[in-house]
């Protein structure tokens, strides 16, 4: 049945490359993809900063991991423009998190903003 969740769901996938299976940030959680991208205490400030920016832009989205990680948006009244802005912000955050993946520090907001500026600059010049 294609509706069943496979036993290797994203929530359970563990990054197997290392002997120690715990979060390298020292929070004791298992080193799963879900933990590294969303649940870890070191990446949460960056995601919360993104939601504050969205609120200032009058984009009201629930604080839900499926939105930035899978680009699944709530169906109610989300315009294409809002989705485009959000998608760029979320991709920039993912790049920022990946850049410091195995370091014991929080992704910096200014790194995230620089990545967004770079993405928009590249998109602008690729359209000419």
Nearest-angstrom CA–CA distance, 12 and 22: 13
User: DSSP readout, 44-109?
Assistant: HHHHHHHHHHHHHTT------THHHHH----STT--HHHHHHHHHHHHHHHHHHHHTTTSSSPPPH
Question: Once rounded to an integer, what is the mean pLDDT over residues 107-128?
Answer: 85
Q: What is the pLDDT of residues 59-79, one digit of tens each?
A: 888 898 888 888 888 877 567
* Residue 14: inside a domain: no
Q: What is the pLDDT of residue 48?
A: 92
Q: Looking at residue 128, what is its pLDDT? A: 64
Model pLDDT for residues 38-59, shown as the tens digit of each residue: 888 888 889 999 999 999 988 8
Q: Is residue 33 part of a domain?
A: no
Whether residue 79 is contained in a domain is answered as yes
Tally of domains within the chain: 1
Reported as a pLDDT band with limits 50, 70 and 90, residue 4 is very low
Q: Which domain does 123 fall in, by range? A: 40-127
């Amino acid at each position: 049945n294609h509706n069943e969740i496979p036993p290797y769901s994203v929530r359970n996938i563990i990054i197997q490359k290392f002997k120690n299976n715990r979060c390298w940030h020292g929070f004791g959680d298992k080193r799963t993809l879900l933990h590294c991208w969303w649940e870890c205490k070191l990446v949460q400030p960056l995601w919360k900063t993104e939601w504050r920016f969205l609120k200032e832009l009058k984009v009201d989205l629930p604080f839900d991991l499926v939105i930035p990680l899978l680009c699944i948006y709530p169906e109610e009244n989300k315009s294409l423009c809002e989705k485009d802005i959000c998608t760029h912000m979320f991709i920039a955050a993912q790049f920022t998190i990946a850049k410091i993946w195995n370091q014991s520090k929080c992704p910096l907001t200014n790194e995230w903003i620089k990545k967004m500026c770079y993405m928009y600059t590249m998109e602008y010049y690729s359209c000419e």
